[in-house]
Structure formats: structure tokens, C-alpha cells
Structure 1
Amino acid sequence: MSREQHIARTFVELADTLVEDFDLIDFLQQMTVRCQELLDITDAAVFLNHPPPRLHSPAPCDPGPALRDVLEAARSEGPALDAHRAGKPVTTGEDPAETAARWPQFAQMLRAAGYTRATAVPMRLRKDCLGSLLLLHTGETPLGADDLALAQALADAATIGLLQAGTIHEQHTVNKQLHTALQSRIIVEQAKGVLAARRHIRLNDAFEAMRHHARHHRTLLIKVARDVIENDFVPAVPPASPARPADSS
């Protein structure tokens, strides 16, 4: 599959929210997976603002204490919060001292976790900004203009998908969805670790196995995760997803 085909498939996935059994945690988790595959980044996370910005989906890997500290710090300062407020992309600068002066806690956690820089794009629809997409880098090269434009397009498409799914129209619905997603995220991460250990596979492959089973059997991802943890269920591993093709530009 070419990179262009992979991008097209991703936009179709983000638009596929008008279903009765829409799974919010699956939708946001899959968005971070696709960001890793398509962009020159290491990890990604989604924040929604209801208020203040709440972490909805961590990077699709075992977060570990260092990454958890980065994401927790990002809730109160850093590019994710500023991108949401400004409605435009925000990135850490080339000068570490400047970044530390602007966001001291976030910059400290970022360095401790081994990341070299962070970029965030707003999740917006016209003038309404619902949150942001945080992208974490370990390389020295800044996110290129094409990748930044693609990241913004993915965030915009996800925003439209969430609006279509009706998950952010009513405040009480939002609060319930956020609480459920945050609790579900913990269970899904635990299940990924359990399944990866049982099958001796990568955490991303464990997530794909659970997601594939949930979609094939039209059930929620959280139900599959609980079955893995509580009943020793081992879903089949689907064919490997295409790796992110090298950028030919």
C-alpha cells in the first residue's frame, strides 16, 4: 500500500462515525496509531476541552511513568494547551532554554522522557476549537511542512467525526463520554500488555488484535479488553498493518 493510499484509508476511517455502536476510545486510539504510521513522530495523544483539556487517548504503546508525566504536564501547560487556545499549531522551539522558560514543567517532563520536541495542532471546526492533537518527537529534525499540514487535516477530520457522532453536542453526554473513555483507556492499556506477553507480540499488534476482533464481532473494544484480562481470552492477530512508507520527497 502506498503512502497516498494509506492516507486515503485513514480519512475514511476518521469519517466512519455515523454508526449505532460508535466506539469513542477505539476511534481516538486508532487516530494516534495512524499519526505514528503517517507522520515523522514517536508518540501522539488527543486532548479534548470540556474544560479544562482532558486526556482522552494516550500514545498507542505502554506509556510508562515518564510519558505519563509528559501527558499530565501537557494538561496544564505546553503546546497542546496553547494550540487549543490559539486555534493554530504550536511547537517547542529550537532553543531548549526558551522552551523551559515558556513551559517549565512540561519542558522538564519532555526532556526526562527522552523527547526532543513537541508539536500540537488544534482540533477545530471553523471558529470552534474542541481540543488538540499532541505529537512527540525523539529526532532532531522538526516536523516538516507537509507532515504538519497532514497532522492538521487529520485533526480536522477527527473533529468533524466526533461532531457527527454526537459525542460533544450535550454537556452531560460529554462528561459521561470523557469519564468512560478515561476509565476504558486504563483497561485497554492493561489488556494490551497482558495479550502482548501471552502472544509474545508488540503492544501495537496486541491492540490491533483486540480492535480487529471488536469490529469483526460488532462489539466494543472495552468488552474485548475485559475479556482478555478477566477470562484469558486471546484474540487472533490480524495481518500486519502496513508500515509507514518512506517519504519519497
Structure 2
Amino acid sequence: MHHSEHDDREQEAAVSTSREYDFAQAFVELSDTLVADFDVVDFLHVLAGRCVELLAVQAAGIMIGDQRGALRVMASSSEKARLLELFEVETSSGPCVDCYRRGTPVADIDLDEPDSRWREFAGRARADGFRAVHAVPVRLRGETIGVLNLFSTARGPLDDTVTHAAKALANVTALGLLQHRAVEYRQILAEQVQHAMNSRVTIEQAKGVLAERLDMDMEAAFTELRRYAARTGDRLGDIATAVTTADYGPLENRTRILVVRRFDITSLAGLRHKVDAVVAGHGLAGEKRAGFVLAVHEAAANAVEHGGGAGQLLLWLRAGTFYAEISDQGAGLPADYRVALPTPVDSLEQGRGLWLINTLYPDMELNTGPTGTRLMVRHPGA
């Protein structure tokens, strides 16, 4: 028995140390993003995601008051959380709104028996699988400027460690809005909130575009939008603008999204013609154009043949270079797979496609896993 108790204490200590390490790593990561030109929308979305990872909750969101004091939804870790927060703002009721008004933490730890002030909100939250909501004020120099919202599928209060960490993350939110600039903080706050609101509108529009073109729900579209931003190296708001404006307007040395399209066996020919026309319109000609279009087509054909019957293409132009990423949702390639010259007994589909692409573009990127394969090729412009 004594030995068992000793083991239990050691295990608890190890878990505690691991959690403290995770918290420390998160704060280092977040502080590293607070550079002079960081994007507040990117920062708030990263923060919401880290809250879910660190605080043992299933969703998180951040609301900030605008210049008139009205709450605005700025970032959410999931579409369910975003819609719940929007409902609170529109109805001016709910624990998160109450937290903002009072400037103190508010929790409803059992939504099956909710506070009478927000029964309709509680019903919606329960329908989404949540059983408790915790709201922590975001304070700056004694003034409540927003709320960090935490949604849990488990009833009950947060433990002391998580509560303290949530308050610390709320403080990090305030620091992010200040942006470390040595000017009057109210002016900064107004500018940052306005920028974030404008970006949110564009982000929602871009999510709608991706949801329609790629036949996915809004949450998956947002995940894809964030992946695009990471892939291209753009801020979230900037890549959202690129998605919504597509191939229009001046280049201005920004990322230009040329094609976002889902494809299957019936649309391969049309996709090839589309890619050919788009790159030709941007000056790619002759053998270079033919090689690039062929590589994209071979990758798309491979995705259809071996990746579950369908795939998607993201084609963009940045600083004079064309980039094409072709994705599928297949089972992935074997761990020991290597692109090699096909043997005479190989069919065109079994070996020639990737070998041909690799011959045309030796620096092609190939990432594969149990959820599918992504292939990217790049080609300098005309």
C-alpha cells in the first residue's frame, strides 16, 4: 500500500511538472509572436487554440469591446464556439456578456440547470455538446476590454491551476492588443480592434468561398484557410483577402490565389484547361507552361486514382513564382515509399506519374500520412 501511494504521488508530480512545462512553452510561444508587425487576428486565433490545449476545455473564444463598448467576436477555436458567442452578442445575454459587464469571472458550471438569465443560450450550448461555460475578463490597466470564453463538455468548476492559467492567458490577450507600442494605449486598442473586426469580416467571406468550392463545412473551411496561411507564409487576414479577391486587381507583390478547386474523374480535363489558361494569362509560355500544366495534371490524376477518387488544387502566385498544391484524402503512401523510375511492367498510374513530376520538378514536396497526401511543385514565372 505504501509503495502504491508513493507511486501515485510520483505520477501526480510528473503530471504537474508536465503541465507546468506545457504552460511555460505556451507563454514563450505566444510572447514570441508579439513582434512589431504581428497580426492581431492571427495572434488571437493562436491564443484560442492554445487555451483548448492547455486548459482541458473543448472550445475557446475571445470577445473584445469596440470603441463604443460593444462586444465583438474576434477569435474562436471552433465554429460552434463562434456561433454561441455571436448569439450572446446578438441577444446581449449569456455568461460571457455578463462577465464583460461586471468585470469579474462568471461561470455556469451546469448548463442542465442554467442561470435563469440565459436559459436560451444554455439550450443552444447543450445542443452543441457543452455542459459548462467559464468566462474570464480581459483587463487592461483596471479596465475590462474583453472576455476569454471557455466551453467545456464536462460539468463543474475549473481547478485552481487551470483557473490561474486562464487568468494569465487573459492577460496575454491584453498584451497582444497593446502590441508593445509605446503610444497611448486607448488609441492602439481602438486601431487594433477595428483592424481585427475588418479582418473578421474578410475571414468569414473567405470561409464561405472555400466551403462552397471545396464542398466542406465552415469549420473545415476555416481549418483550410489557416493551413493556406501557414503554407504561403501570409497573415490570416491577408490570405483571406487573397481568397476573396482571387485573380483580380494589381499584384502588389502579394499572394494571389489563382485556383481553388475540388476535382474528381469527371473534372480532370476541365481542371487541366483551367490551369493552362490561368498560367498563360500570367505570362508562362512554351515548354515551361506545358511542363507545369502536365505536372499539375499528373498529380491530380494520381489523387483521383489512388487518393479516394477526388482531390483539391490550390494554385497561387507570389513574387513571380507559381505554386501548385494537390491534395487527396486517401490512405497515404507507404512509409518507405520512394519516387523511382517505373519499370516496364508498371502501369502509367502505378509509377509514371510521380516519377514524371519529380523529373520535371526535382524539388517537389511530398507529404503523406493516414489522412492523405499533399504534393507541391513551384515554378518561376515568365
Q: Match for 2:259 among 228, 232, 243?
A: 232
Quote the residue 1:46 is aligned against. Answer: 62
SS in 2 for 1:103: helix
Contact 2:132–2:153 (CA under 8 A) maintained in structure 1: yes
Name 2:237's counterpart in structure 1.
222
Name the amino acid aligned to 2:62: V
1:205-220 paired onto structure 2 within 5 Å = 206=224, 209-213=227-231, 217=233, 219-220=234-235
Partner of 1:103: 118
Larger radius of gyration: 2
Confirm or deny: 8 A CA contact 2:103 2:137 kept in the other structure.
yes
d(CA) in 1 for partners of 2:162, 2:215: 34
Q: Distance in 2 between matches of 1:204 and 1:142?
A: 30
Q: Could you tell me which residue of structure 2 aligns to residue 169 of structure 1?
A: 186
SS of the residue 1:232 aligns to: strand
Is contact 2:41–2:199 with CA below 8 Å preserved after alignment? yes
Residues 9 and 195 (structure 1), Cα distance of their counterparts in 2 relative to 1, 3 Å cut: farther
2-side partners of 1:165 and 1:181: how far apart?
Answer: 21
Give the paired residue count: 227
1:91 aligns with one of 107, 113, 119: 107
In 2, distance between residues paired with 1:12 and 1:56? 22
Q: Does 1:129 align with 2:144?
A: yes
Match for residue 45 of structure 2 among 29, 44, 49: 29
Deviations 1:108-129 (A, max 9, x none): 2212322111111011134111
Percent pairwise identity: 28
Q: Which residue in 1 is equivalent to 2:86?
A: 72
Contact kept, 8 Å, 2:110 with 2:155, in 1: the verdict is: no
Aligned letter for 2:76? P
Contact 2:225 2:240 in 1 (8 A): no
Judge conservation of contact 2:109–2:156 (CA < 8 Å) in 1.
no
Give the deviation of 1:85 after TM superposition: 2.4
Residue equivalent to 2:74: 56
1:183-220 Cα shifts (integer Å, max 9, x gaps): 1331454477589879xxx7786455334335xx4x32
Q: Determine the C-alpha separation between the residues in 2 that align with 1:38 and 1:195.
A: 34
Corresponding residue of 1:244? none
- Alignment TM-score, normalising by the size of structure 1: 0.74
CA shift in 2, pair 1:37/1:188, >3 Å: farther
**117, 125, 133: which one pairs with 1:118?**
133
Q: Which moved more, 1:176-185 or 1:44-53?
A: 176-185
Label 1:211 to 1:88 Cα distance change in 2 as closer, same or farther (>3 A). Answer: farther
Q: 1:191·1:226 contact (CA, 8 Å) conserved in 2?
A: no
1:13–1:94 CA distance, 2 compared to 1 (3 A): same
Q: Which amino acid aligns with 1:6?
A: D
Give the Cα–Cα distance (whole angstroms) in 1 for the partners of residues 160 and 198 of structure 2. Answer: 36
Residues in 2 aligned to 1:207 and 1:6: alpha-carbon distance in whole angstroms: 26
> Residues 191, 162 of structure 1: CA spacing in aligned structure 2 closer, same or farther, 3 A cutoff?
farther
- Letter of the 1:222 counterpart: G
Aligned match of 2:354? none
Q: Which residue of 2 aligns with 1:185?
A: 203
Moved more, 5-14 or 74-83: 5-14
- Matched to 1:11, the amino acid is F
- Work out the CA distance in 2 between the residues paired with 1:192 and 1:142: 38
Determine if the alignment matches structure 1 residue 148 to structure 2 residue 163: yes
**Which structure is higher in strand share?**
2
Query: Compared with structure 1, are the counterparts of its residues 203 and 186 closer, same or farther at alpha carbon in structure 2 (3 Å cutoff)?
Result: closer
Q: CA deviation at 1:43?
A: 1.0
**In 1, Cα distance between the equivalents of 2:221 and 2:128?**
19
CA shift, 1:52, in A, is: 1.2
What's the TM-score once normalised by structure 2's chain length?
0.51
The one-letter code sitting in structure 2 at the alignment partner of 1:224 is: I
Give the distance between the partners of 2:185 and 2:209, measured in 1 at CA.
28
Once residues 195 and 13 of structure 1 are traced to their aligned partners in structure 2, the CA distance between those partners, rounded to angstroms, is 34
